[in-house]
C-alpha cells in the first residue's frame, strides 16, 4: 500500500524535472534573440540604435541649435573565415558633427564561383557610444546575396544622437568605431 503514494510522488518529481528541462531548452533557444533585443533597446555592448528619417531630422535640428561638437568615425570591415567575400569601407575615417546625418559606403565582392548569401553583424566602440550611434538605413538589417564575382556598394546612413553631449561617459570620446563582420547566412 505504501508503494502507491511513493509511485505518485516519483511521477510528480519526474514530471517537474521534465518541465524544468523543457523550460531550460526553450530559454536556450530564446537567449540569443532576447539578448539581441535587450542590446538594441539599451545600447548595451556597443549595439547601435535605429531611427527613422524624421527622428534623424529632429536630432539634426537640435544639434544645429546647440553648436554641437564632432567625432571622428572609423569604419571597420571583416568577414568570417568561411565567407569568401572581399569586404571593405570605401573611406576608413570620417568626421561627423553630432546630430548631422552622414553616409558611409562599404563595398563587397563575392570571390567564389557560387552565389553566397550573408548577413552582417555590427558593433560600436567604445561601448558607451553605442547608445548614441543611430543608424537610419543599413545593409545589416537584411541578408545580402551576391552572385559569383558580383560586387556591390552598400550604404549606411547614420548620425550621432545629440543626447551624447549630456552623457559624462562620452566626455573623453573623440573617435567612434563602427565595425561590421559578414557571415554566411544560415540555411
CB-based burial label for 165 (10 Å; 0-12, 13-18, 19+): middle
List the alpha helices (DSSP H) in the chain: 3-42, 53-66
> Where do the domains of the chain lie?
1-42, 47-184
Q: Regarding predicted confidence, which is higher, 56 or 148?
A: 148
pLDDT, tens digit (0-9, with 9 covering 90-100), for 36-94: 666 655 555 545 555 555 565 565 555 555 556 899 999 999 999 999 999 999 999 99
CB-based burial label for 187 (10 Å; 0-12, 13-18, 19+): exposed
Cα-based distances in Å from 35 to 23, 38, 42, 113, 141: 17, 5, 11, 36, 17
* Phi and psi angles of residue 17, each rounded to the nearest 5 degrees, phi first: -65, -40
DSSP-derived 3-state class of residue 8: helix
135 secondary structure, DSSP code: E
The CATH code for residues 47-184 is: 2.60.370.10
The yes-or-no verdict on residue 26 having pLDDT over 90 is: no
Query: So what's the pLDDT on residue 169?
Result: 93
Amino acid at each position: 500500500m505504501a508503494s502507491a503514494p511513493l509511485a505518485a510522488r516519483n511521477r510528480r518529481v519526474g514530471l517537474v524535472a521534465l518541465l524544468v528541462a523543457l523550460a531550460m531548452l526553450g530559454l536556450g533557444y530564446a537567449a540569443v534573440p532576447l539578448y539581441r533585443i535587450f542590446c538594441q533597446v539599451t545600447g548595451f555592448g556597443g549595439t547601435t540604435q535605429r531611427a527613422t528619417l524624421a527622428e534623424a531630422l529632429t536630432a539634426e535640428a537640435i544639434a544645429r541649435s546647440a553648436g554641437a561638437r564632432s567625432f571622428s568615425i572609423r569604419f571597420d570591415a571583416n568577414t568570417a573565415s568561411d565567407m569568401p567575400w572581399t569586404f571593405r569601407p570605401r573611406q576608413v575615417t570620417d568626421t561627423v558633427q553630432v546630430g548631422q546625418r552622414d553616409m558611409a559606403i562599404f563595398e563587397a565582392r563575392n570571390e567564389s564561383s557560387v552565389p553566397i548569401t550573408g548577413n552582417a553583424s555590427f558593433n560600436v566602440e567604445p561601448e558607451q557610444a553605442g547608445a548614441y550611434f543611430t543608424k537610419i538605413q543599413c545593409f545589416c538589417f537584411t541578408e545580402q546575396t551576391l552572385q559569383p564575382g558580383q560586387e556591390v556598394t552598400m550604404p549606411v546612413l547614420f548620425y550621432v544622437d545629440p543626447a551624447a553631449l549630456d552623457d559624462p561617459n562620452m566626455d573623453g570620446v573623440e573617435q567612434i568605431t563602427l565595425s561590421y563582420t559578414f557571415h554566411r547566412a544560415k540555411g
